[in-house]
Amino acid sequence: MIIVLLGPPGAGKGTQGERIAQRLGIPKIATGDVLREAIRNGTEQGLAAKKYMDAGELVPDSVILGIMKDALSTPAAAKGAILDGVVRTVPQAEGLAKLAAELGRKIDKVVLFDVPDDELIRRISGRTVCEKCQTPYTGREPGTSCAKCGGKLVRRPDDEPEAVKTRLNVYRAQTEPVIQWARDHDLDVVEIDATGDIDLITKRAMRALEP
Ligand SMILES: [Zn+2]
């Protein structure tokens, strides 16, 4: 069962993806994680990716898809996988569908996390991280102290309200068209309300994933 998670930044895909993966007993695959792992393991695709990164360039879709192919071919992913942040554009969705077909599989579900913009901005701008030990916090103001090491909490530049608006615009322009693409290709797209209690959101997601 290949499940693609879609949703704007701050929608909770990472957290919920972990929970869903655990309940279904399949791995969660996030692009950043498998990319770092491929580089660490020195795989062919990892080395190719490293070349681009060392040159300060974006890793092309073809290389990312190669890494995905490796990740989906592991025994751990034989039963399925939750893909988080893997599909951000229509070409990436097309590439993934083709890759799945090559592996004799398909994208079984697309789960769309629905959260209103003002809630996303509120969530993301409430995040801070310790300057020293990198512990993340939610709902603690920048400038206050880290509970672990006393370091100063700062907001990542990406999480500043202006940057969040830009990220949302990129999502609307590049990722939202994937939803229509998926519907046009008869994929099973389920939309869930990703606001409110964290356990309740997991419940909604699990219900949406029932066959
Ligand atoms: Zn700290």
pLDDT (tens digit, 9 = 90+) per residue, 100-114? 999 999 999 999 999
Model confidence, pTM: 0.89
Tell me if residue 148 is catalytic: no
Which residue of the set 28, 109, 155, 167 is catalytic?
167
Q: How far apart are CA 88 and CA 78, in angstroms?
A: 24
Q: What is the pLDDT of residue 38?
A: 93
* Averaged pLDDT, 41-69: 93
In this prediction, residues 29-36 reach a mean pLDDT of 91
Q: For 45-57, what is each residue's pLDDT tens digit?
A: 999 999 999 999 9
Is residue 88 annotated as part of the catalytic site, yes or no?
yes
Q: Which two tokens stand for residue 57?
A: 């360039």
- Residue 156 annotated as catalytic: yes
Strand ranges (DSSP E) for the chain? 2-6, 28-30, 81-84, 107-114, 127-130, 136-138, 153-154, 189-193
